[in-house]
Amino acid sequence: MIATSDARPAIRRLRRTRWQLTTLITAVTATCLIILGLVATTIDARSRDKAMDDAIDRVATGVNRSVSLLEDDTFDISQVENYDLANGETAVLVLSNDGAGRWQERYSHLRSWLPKEEIVQGVVDDATVATDTIFRDGTDSQGRPVRLVAQHMIWDDSSIEAVVIAGANPGVFDRERALLLWGLVVGGLTLVILSGMAAHWLSGRSMRQVTVMLEEQERFLGDAAHELRTPLTTLGLVTAPRRRNPHEVERALDDARALGSRMERIVAGLLARARMQAGVTKMERVQLLLDQLTEAVIEEFPNAGIVARTQPSVVVGDPGLLSLAVRNLLENAVTHGAMNRGAPVEVYVTEGRVSVRDHGPGLNPQVASNPFQRGVTGGRGSGIGLALVAWIAELHGGTVTMEPAAGGGALATIALPPPVLGQS
C-alpha cells in the first residue's frame, strides 16, 4: 500500500468506495431475494391451501356418493364405513334431518378433529342454503385450527336432507410451509453473505490495479521531485543573474544545456518505468548492436574522459530502455570517478555485457549489500538511477552487478541473455 501521507486520502477514498460497492450490491441482492421470497411464499401458500381444499373436497365428494337413501327413507351408510378415504387422516361427519328440521349425526370419523355441535350446526345451516360446496375455517373441539368443507345432499321425492362435512388440520401443511420459509431464510442469508463477500473480493480485485497505479504515480512524483531537485538547484545557481564575461556566459550556457539534458533523461526514464508498470506501454523487443548503442550513449559525455573498448554484440531488447540503463551507469561512474581526474571511466562491451569501471573511492559499505535498491545512495544522488538500471536489466531477463574493482573504484556490469534463434 501507499505509505506517503499525500496518497493516503486517495487510498481511503478507494476503500470507502469498495465498502460502498459491497454494501450496495449486498443490499440489492437482499432486496431481490426478499421480493422473490415473498412471491414464492405467497404462491406456495395459495398452492398449499388449494391442495388442502382439494384433498378434503375429494373426501367429501367420495362420502357423498357413498351415502344412499333407501325407499323407506332410511340411510344406508354401509358403503361409507368401508370407504378408505372416509376412514383415513381426514375427519368425516355425515348428518341428516328427519324431515322436520332436526339434524342428527349418522356417521363420524375422527370426531374430535371437527368443531363442537353448535359450530357444526352453523356450518350445516350455511350448507343447506348454499348452491355449491362451501369451505370454512374453524377450530375443532380442542381449539385447534381446522379447515372444513360441507356438501349438501337432497333426494327427489323425499324431504330428508343430508350434509357431509370433511375437515383437516392445516398444521401438516403449515409445517411444510415453515420448512419452506426456513429454507428460504437460510438460503437467502447464505446467498446475501456470499454475494457480499464476492462483491467485496471483486471490488478489491478491480481496485487493486488502481491502487498500484496510485502507488506508481506517487513513486514517480517522489522520484521526479527527488531527482530534479539537485539539477534544478544547480541550474538556478548557473543562471543566477550576475556580471559575466563572454567566456563565463558561454560556459554557463553549456552547463545549463547539460543540466537540461540530464533532467530530460531523468524524466524520460521515470516516465518509461511508470508507463510500463501501469501497462500503458509495452517493452519493444528488437535485435540491436549493443556496442553501437553504448558508443552512441558515450557520445553524450564529450568531456567526461570515457574510454571505450567494444566488441560486436547482438542482443534483443528495447533500445530506449537499454540506452537509459547504460547512460545511468555512465553518469554514476562519472560522478563518483570525478574524485580522480587522472583516471578515465572505462567501458567494456563484450557479448551481451556492458561493464563500466570508475576509479573513485569504491563501494560505500552502506550500499555494498544492494547498491541497486531504490533509495540506496552512497552520498550523492538518490539511488534512483541505479534502481532504474536494475529494473531494466530484470525486464530484459538479465542481471546487473556492482563490485569493487581491482586497483580501486567500482565495476558495474549489465549482463543480457543471448538472443534466441529466430527472435526479432
More confident residue, 94 or 210: 94
pTM of the model: 0.49
> For the residues 320-342, what does the mean pLDDT come to?
80
Instruction: Enumerate long-range contacts of 113-122, CB under 8 Å, 24 or more apart.
Output: 113/140, 113/141, 113/144, 113/146, 113/167, 113/168, 113/169, 114/140, 114/141, 114/146, 114/148, 114/165, 114/167, 115/139, 115/140, 115/141, 115/146, 115/148, 115/167, 116/141, 120/93, 120/95, 120/165
pLDDT value of position 134: 92
- Per the listing, cell 414464492 goes with 40
Q: Report the chain's C-alpha Rg in angstroms.
A: 48
pLDDT value of position 1: 38
pLDDT value of position 407: 79
C-alpha cell at 24: 450496495
More confident residue, 369 or 238: 238
Is residue 185 over pLDDT 50?
Answer: yes
Which superfamily, per CATH, for 283-415? Histidine kinase-like ATPase, C-terminal domain (3.30.565.10)
More confident residue, 237 or 399: 399
Highest-confidence range of 65-74, 319-328, 329-338, by mean pLDDT? 319-328
The fraction of the chain above a pLDDT of 70, given in percent, is: 84
> For residue 340, what pLDDT band results from cuts at 50, 70 and 90?
low
> For residue 356, what pLDDT band results from cuts at 50, 70 and 90?
very high
Phi-psi region of 117 (alpha: psi -120 to 50; beta: other; left: phi over 0): alpha
Give the tens place of pLDDT for each residue, 106-121: 888 888 889 998 888 8
Instruction: Name the average pLDDT for the chain.
Output: 81
One-letter amino acid at 413 equals: T
> For residue 44, what pLDDT band results from cuts at 50, 70 and 90?
confident
Nearest to 284, CA basis, from 335, 251, 318: 318
Give the tens place of pLDDT for each residue, 278-297: 666 777 889 999 999 999 98
Distance of alpha carbon 56 from alpha carbon 44, whole angstroms: 18
Q: Where in the chain is the domain with CATH 3.30.565.10?
A: 283-415
Q: Where in the chain is the domain with CATH 3.30.450?
A: 68-169
Quick one: CATH architecture of 68-169? 2-Layer Sandwich (3.30)
What is the 3 state secondary structure string of the chain?
A: CCCCCCCHHHHHHHHHHHHHHHHHHHHHHHHHHHHHHHHHHHHHHHHHHHHHHHHHHHHHHHHHHHCEECCCCCEECHHHHCCCHHHCCCEEEEEEECCCCCEEEEEEECHHHCCCHHHHHHHHHHHHHCCCCEEEEEECCCCCEEEEEEEEEECCCCCCEEEEEEEECCHHHHHHHHHHHHHHHHHHHHHHHHHHHHHHHHHHHHHHHHHHHHHHHHHHHHHHHHHHHHHHHHHHHHCCCCCCCHHHHHHHHHHHHHHHHHHHHHHHHHHHHHHHHCCCCCCCCEEEEHHHHHHHHHCCCCCCCEEEEECCCEEEECHHHHHHHHHHHHHHHHHHHCCCCCCCEEEEEECCEEEEECCCCCCCCCCCCCCCCCCCCCCCCCCHHHHHHHHHHHHCCCEEEEEECCCCCEEEEEECCCCCCCCC
> For the residues 393-400, what does the mean pLDDT come to?
92
> For the residues 1-22, what does the mean pLDDT come to?
68
More confident residue, 104 or 267: 104
> For the residues 164-170, what does the mean pLDDT come to?
88
Is residue 341 over pLDDT 70?
Answer: no
